[in-house]
């Protein structure tokens, strides 16, 4: 707006070339350019270079740390695989040991059962033999009593024992 006002008044035309103004504009531009280059550009460029170097060193350090982390990860994974394998071996050994213990227990149980069975059979045979012996004695006693009643006489204790012993021997010889 201000330029339009001045142009309308006839003071300044934007399209007019003014050589004096042009020279001072170029001199001012060059002066500001060199002063900025001397005072501002060098520190800015140095700061940018320093920042760039720091970024590059940080990137290199990050890559080094990354490589170290990957190396450690691979080491841990290798150790983990080794531990897994060791765990599988321990489990396999434990299963084998459990199987051996199981077989030992079963064998011990079988032997104990056989011993109990043999003892039971022996006890049963002894009981049967004792029962047969008792039956033989009872049969002999009854035979003597019946024989005494048939003959009409009573036997003495000694005759009775002798007859019982003979009868038992006869029964034993039959078996």
pLDDT in tens, 7-30: 555 555 666 677 787 899 899 999
Among 156, 110, 112, 164, smallest CA distance to 134 is for 164
The rounded distance, in Å, linking the Cα atoms of 130 and 119 is 16
Q: How confident is the model at residue 165 (pLDDT cuts 50, 70, 90)?
A: confident
Q: Would you say 140 and 109 are in contact if contact means Cβ atoms under 8 Å apart? A: no
pLDDT attached to residue 2:
58
- What is the per-residue pLDDT for 29? 94
- Which whole number is the average pLDDT over 85-92? 91
Q: Select from 57, 58, 79, 77 the least CA-distant residue to 69.
A: 77
pLDDT over 70 percentage in the chain: 83
Q: Give the H/E segment covering residue 11.
A: none
**Residue 168 burial by CB count (10 A; 0-12/13-18/19+): exposed, middle or buried?**
middle
pLDDT of residue 140: 73
**Separation of alpha carbons 171 and 146, rounded Å:** 18
pTM greater than 0.85: no
User: What's the CA gap between 45 and 138, in Å, rounded?
Assistant: 135
Six token digits for residue 73: 């990860």
CB-count exposure of residue 26 (10 Å: 0-12, 13-18, 19+):
exposed
Domain positions in the chain: 14-174
Render pLDDT for 106-154 as a digit per residue (tens, 0 to 9): 999 999 999 999 999 999 999 888 888 888 777 777 776 777 666 655 6
CA dist 75 and 77 (Å) reads 5
pLDDT at 143: 75
């Amino acid at each position: 707006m201000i330029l339009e006002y001045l142009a309308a008044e006839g003071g300044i035309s934007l399209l007019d070339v003014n050589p004096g103004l042009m020279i001072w504009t170029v001199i001012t531009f060059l002066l500001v350019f060199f002063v900025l280059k001397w005072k501002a550009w060098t520190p800015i460029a140095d700061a940018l270079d320093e920042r760039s170097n720091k970024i590059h060193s940080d990137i290199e350090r990050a890559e080094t740390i990354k490589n170290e982390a990957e190396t450690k990860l691979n080491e841990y994974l290798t150790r983990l695989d080794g531990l897994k394998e060791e765990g599988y071996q321990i489990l396999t050994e434990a299963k084998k040991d459990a199987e051996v213990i199981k077989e030992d227990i079963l064998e011990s149980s079988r032997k104990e059962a056989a011993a109990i069975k043999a003892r039971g059979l022996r006890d049963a045979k002894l009981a049967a033999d004792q029962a047969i012996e008792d039956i033989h004695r009872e049969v002999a006693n009854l035979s003597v009593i019946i024989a005494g009643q048939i003959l009409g006489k009573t036997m003495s204790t000694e005759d009775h024992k002798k007859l019982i012993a003979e009868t038992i021997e006869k029964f034993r010889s039959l078996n």
